[in-house]
Amino acid sequence: MIRLENISLGYGSRRLLDNASATFEHGTLTALLGRNGAGKSTLLRAIASIGNLDGGTVSLGGDDIKRLHPEQIARLVSFVTTDKVRIPNLTCQDVVALGRAPYTNWIGRMQDIDREIVAEALAAVGMSDFANKTMDAMSDGECQRVMIARALAQQTPIILLDEPTAFLDLPTRHEICSLLHRLAHEDGKTILFSTHDLDIAMSQCDMAAIIDSPNLIHKPMSDVRDDISRIFGICQ
Amino acid sequence: MRSRNTILFTLLAVAMVALFIADLAIGSTAIHLGDVWAALTGGECDVATRDIVLKIRLIKAVMAILAGAALAVSGLQMQTLFRNPLAGPYVLGVSSGASLGVAIFLLGAPLLGLAATPSLQLLGTAGAAWIGSGLILMAVMALSRRIKDIMVILILGMMVGSAIGAVVEILQYLSSENALKSFVVWTMGSLGDVTATQLQMVIPAIAIGLILSVALIKPLNLLLLGENYARTMGLNIARSRRVIFLSTVLLAGTVTAFCGPIGFVGLAVPHLARMLFAAADHRVLIPASMMSGAVVMLLCDIISKTMALPINTVTALLGIPIVIFVVVRNRSIE
Coil, helix or strand at residue B33: helix
Res. B281: pLDDT tops 90: yes
Alpha-carbon span A174 to A48, nearest angstrom: 25
Residue B278: its chain A contacts at CB < 8 A? 89
Res. B83: pLDDT tops 90: no
pLDDT at B188: 66
pLDDT, mean over chain B:
88
A8: phi then psi, degrees, rounded to nearest 5: -120, 140
Q: Give the B-side interface with A, CB within 8 Å.
A: 215, 217-218, 221-222, 224-226, 228-229, 231-236, 274, 278-281, 283, 333
Res. B334: pLDDT tops 60: no
CB contact under 8 A, A79 and B229: yes
Lowest mean pLDDT among A133-147, B111-125, B142-156: B111-125
CB contact under 8 A, A99 and B233: yes
Residue B222: its chain A contacts at CB < 8 A? 98, 101
Give all domains of chain B, ordered by start, each with its CATH number. 2-333 (1.10.3470.10)
pLDDT band at B323 (very low <50, low <70, confident <90, very high): confident
Query: Going by C-beta distance under 8 Å and a sequence separation of 6 or more, which residues neighbour residue B303?
Result: B309, B314
pLDDT at A159: 97
pLDDT at B331: 67
Residue B225: its chain A contacts at CB < 8 A? 83, 85, 95, 98
CB contact under 8 A, A98 and B281: no
A215-220 and A2-11 strand pairing = unpaired
pLDDT digits (tens, 9 = 90+) for B177-206: 877 877 777 776 677 778 888 898 899 999
Q: Does A161 touch chain B (CB under 8 A)?
A: no
Alpha-carbon span B26 to B41, nearest angstrom: 18
pLDDT digits (tens, 9 = 90+) for B17-65: 999 999 999 988 888 888 888 888 888 888 888 888 888 899 999 999 9
CB contact under 8 A, B234 and A78: no
State the smallest CA–CA distance between residue A159 and chain B in angstroms.
Answer: 11
Alpha-carbon span B10 to B7, nearest angstrom: 5
Return the amino acid letter for B44: E
Coil, helix or strand at residue A134: strand
CB contact under 8 A, A107 and B226: no
Res. B333: pLDDT tops 60: no
Residue A89: its chain B contacts at CB < 8 A? 274, 278-280
CB contact under 8 A, A95 and B225: yes
Residue B5: its chain A contacts at CB < 8 A? none
CB atoms within 10 A of CB A193: 23
| A119-123 contacts at long range (C-beta below 8 A, 24 or more positions apart) | A120/A152, A121/A96, A121/A149, A121/A150, A121/A152, A121/A153, A122/A92, A122/A93, A122/A96, A122/A146, A122/A149
Q: What are the domain boundaries of chain A?
A: 84-155
Residue B231: its chain A contacts at CB < 8 A? 48-50, 70
CA distances from A68 to A133, A160, B144, B166 (A): 36, 18, 28, 50
CB contact under 8 A, B234 and A70: yes
Coil, helix or strand at residue A108: coil
Q: Give the A window 64-83 contacts with B, CB below 8 Å.
A: 70-71, 73-75, 77-79, 81, 83
CB contact under 8 A, A106 and B218: yes
CB contact under 8 A, A75 and B234: yes
Res. A44: pLDDT tops 80: yes
pLDDT at A168: 85
State the smallest CA–CA distance between residue B203 and chain A in angstroms.
Answer: 24
pLDDT at A236: 52
Residue A49: its chain B contacts at CB < 8 A? 231-232
CB contact under 8 A, B234 and A71: yes
pLDDT at A40: 94
Residue from the list B221, B234, B281 with its beta carbon closest to the beta carbon of A102: B234
Give the whole-number percent of chain A exceeding pLDDT 70.
Answer: 99
Res. A148: pLDDT tops 80: yes
Residue A74: its chain B contacts at CB < 8 A? 232-234
CA distances from B245 to B74, B78, B138, B223, B237 (A): 9, 9, 8, 14, 12
Query: Going by C-beta distance under 8 Å and a sequence separation of 6 or more, which residues neighbour residue B143?
Result: B153, B156
CB contact under 8 A, B232 and A50: yes
Residue B274: its chain A contacts at CB < 8 A? 88-89
Q: Which residue has the higher pLDDT, B158 or A29?
A: A29
Residue B215: its chain A contacts at CB < 8 A? 106
H-run or E-run covering A158: strand A158-162
CB contact under 8 A, B231 and A50: yes
- Please tell me which residue of chain B has the smallest CA distance to A105: B218
pLDDT digits (tens, 9 = 90+) for B1-15: 568 999 999 999 999
- Please tell me which residue of chain A has the smallest CA distance to B214: A107
**Sheet architecture: strand order including A14-24:** A14-24, A2-11, A55-60, A63-64
A80: phi then psi, degrees, rounded to nearest 5: -105, 110
Mean local confidence (pLDDT), B136-153: 82
- Paired with B254 in beta bridges are none
Question: What value of ipTM does the predicted structure carry?
Answer: 0.93
CB contact under 8 A, A70 and B231: yes
Residue from the list B217, B229, B235 with its beta carbon closest to the beta carbon of A107: B217
Q: Does A131 touch chain B (CB under 8 A)?
A: no
Give the whole-number percent of chain B exceeding pLDDT 90.
Answer: 47
Alpha-carbon span A148 to B289, nearest angstrom: 31
pLDDT at B116: 63
pLDDT digits (tens, 9 = 90+) for A175-232: 899 999 999 999 999 999 999 999 999 999 999 999 998 999 999 999 988 888 888 8
State the smallest CA–CA distance between residue A218 and chain B in angstroms.
Answer: 25
CB contact under 8 A, A74 and B236: no
Res. B250: pLDDT tops 80: yes
State the smallest CA–CA distance between residue A236 and chain B in angstroms.
Answer: 39
Coil, helix or strand at residue B31: coil
Alpha-carbon span A68 to A64, nearest angstrom: 7
Residue B281: its chain A contacts at CB < 8 A? 94
pLDDT digits (tens, 9 = 90+) for A59-89: 998 899 999 999 999 999 999 999 888 888 8
What b-and-e string marks burial along A164-179, b requiring 16 or more CB atoms within 10 Å of the CB? Answer: bbeebeeebbbbbbeb
Residue from the list B217, B233, B281 with its beta carbon closest to the beta carbon of A74: B233
State the smallest CA–CA distance between residue A136 and chain B in angstroms.
Answer: 8
